[in-house]
Amino acid sequence: MGPHPELPDVLRRLRERYKLAIFTNSDDDLIALAVARIGVPFDYVFTPEQAHAYKPPRQLCEYAYRRIDVTPAQTVHVAMGMY
């Protein structure tokens, strides 16, 4: 399953005003392929390999917030699932 057709344009528009980050449960090598398919650069990509924690526990998000130096209140979470 690839990205939704409208995703690259939406991300490009968001990137004009915001930094983009991915918090994923994918491994480093798998998410690199997905990001390449999206075709829009992300400022940050955080994986469980980096944080040493898989979602849903908060460790991945807490790790990413520390690295970006933001609070949860300074972020917007957007998600998509297959089901």
Q: Which two tokens stand for residue 35?
A: 């990001």
Q: Which of 40, 46, 45, 43 is nearest to 19 (CA)?
A: 43
pLDDT in tens, 31-47: 999 999 999 999 999 99
Q: Where are the domains of the chain?
A: 7-74
Q: What is the pTM of this model?
A: 0.79
With a cut of 70, say whether residue 82 has pLDDT above it. Answer: no
Q: Which secondary-structure segment (H or E) carries 22?
A: strand 21-23
Instruction: Identify whether the C-beta of residue 8 lies closer than 8 Å to the C-beta of residue 29.
Output: no
CATH code of the domain occupying 7-74: 3.40.50.1000
